[in-house]
């Protein structure tokens, strides 16, 4: 059953949201363009299949049309860029999760999938419904969907791991408050410490992620082939 995740990431986004901002890694490593029809891009020499890009792109177009939004050439080009960017982002984070030895056991993956209401009948996971939705509605295979979901779970774990570095001790909190507001009394700190903790935590998380992104930007090598493929295909 664990093949269900890979190609349906866009539909899964409607079920579970991942907290990474879209487009943050558009500049990774600088994009180089080469002829390669079996891949739409590579991340550290790992190929992202062109067929996978085509699938996501068609799914995105369908979702867009289903929402009744106005469809223009600018929107069409924007969707292409966003789909490619998201696939690259996913591969970057997936590779990073492996560096941190983050695992997604089969039991955890199965439990997560079984909790989706769309795969349930009368409140219980239904294996036949699961396959029906995969093959007929989502037009993907169990192996592809399950790999995609495994990646998503690993990426969430990676994000949580990095966020855990932003933990602030009571001593740090009070020290930073008095450093920034030396004229305020102790009573002010007692009243404002919860709000200040939230603000300081947000600052630290942002700083940690920005530094992490900068390191990745120097290390990750991305090559993008889509522009060349489309030019040679006359699109």
DSSP labels for 107-143?
HHHHHHHHT-GGGEETTEE-HHHHHHIIIIIS---HH
Are the beta carbons of 180 and 227 closer than 8 angstroms?
no
Are the beta carbons of 9 and 90 closer than 8 angstroms?
yes
User: How many domains does the structure of the chain reveal?
Assistant: 1
Q: Is residue 176 part of a domain?
A: no
- Boundaries of domain holding 79: 9-166+223-233
Q: Is residue 19 part of a domain?
A: yes
Q: Average of pLDDT values for 147-157?
A: 94
Name the range with the highest mean pLDDT among 26-40, 47-61, 124-138, 176-190. Answer: 124-138
Q: Which of 32-36, 102-106, 194-198, 230-234 has the lowest mean pLDDT?
A: 32-36
Q: Average of pLDDT values for 47-65?
A: 87
Q: How confident is residue 235, by pLDDT bands cut at 50, 70 and 90?
A: low
Are the beta carbons of 168 and 205 closer than 8 angstroms?
no
Q: What is the pLDDT of residues 165-224, one digit of tens each?
A: 888 999 999 999 999 998 887 888 889 999 999 999 999 999 998 888 888 888 899 999
Q: What is the pLDDT of residues 123-148, one digit of tens each?
A: 999 999 999 999 988 888 899 899 98
Q: Is residue 208 part of a domain?
A: no
Which among 51, 46, 54, 59 is positioned nearest to 9, based on CA atoms? 59
pTM score: 0.72
Considering only CA atoms, give the Rg of the chain.
Answer: 22
Q: What is the pLDDT of residues 111-126, one digit of tens each?
A: 999 999 999 999 999 9
Q: Is residue 68 part of a domain?
A: yes
Is beta strand 222-224 parallel, antiparallel or unpaired with respect to 124-125? unpaired
Q: Is residue 194 part of a domain?
A: no
Q: Is residue 136 part of a domain?
A: yes
Residue found under tokens 């369908």: 62
> Which CATH number fits the domain that encloses residue 101?
1.10.4030.10
Q: Is residue 115 part of a domain?
A: yes
Alpha helices in the chain (DSSP H): 9-13, 50-66, 73-99, 106-114, 127-132, 142-163, 170-180, 186-219, 226-233
Q: Which of 59-63, 67-71, 102-106, 161-165 has the lowest mean pLDDT?
A: 67-71
Q: Is residue 61 part of a domain?
A: yes
Residue 21 DSSP one-character state: P
């Amino acid at each position: 059953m664990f093949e269900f995740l890979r190609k349906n990431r866009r539909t899964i986004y409607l079920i579970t949201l991942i907290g990474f901002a879209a487009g943050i890694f558009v500049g990774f490593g600088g994009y180089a363009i080469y002829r390669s029809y079996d891949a739409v891009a590579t991340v550290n020499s790992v190929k992202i299949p062109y067929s996978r890009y085509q699938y996501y792109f068609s799914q995105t177009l369908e979702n867009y049309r289903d929402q009744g939004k106005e469809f223009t050439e600018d929107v069409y080009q924007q969707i292409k860029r966003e789909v490619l960017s998201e696939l690259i982002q996913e591969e970057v984070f997936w590779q990073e999760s492996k560096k941190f030895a983050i695992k997604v056991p089969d039991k955890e993956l199965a439990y997560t999938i079984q909790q989706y209401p769309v795969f349930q009948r009368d409140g219980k996971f239904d294996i036949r419904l699961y396959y029906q939705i995969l093959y007929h509605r989502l037009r993907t295979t169990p192996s592809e969907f399950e790999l995609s979901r495994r990646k998503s779970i690993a990426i969430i774990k990676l994000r949580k791991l990095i966020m855990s570095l932003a933990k602030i001790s009571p001593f740090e909190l009070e020290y930073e408050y008095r450093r920034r507001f030396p004229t305020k009394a102790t009573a002010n700190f007692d009243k404002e410490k919860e709000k200040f903790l939230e603000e300081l935590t947000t600052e630290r998380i942002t700083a940690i992620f920005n530094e992490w992104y900068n390191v990745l930007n120097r290390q990750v090598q991305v090559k993008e082939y889509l522009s060349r493929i489309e030019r040679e295909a006359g699109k």
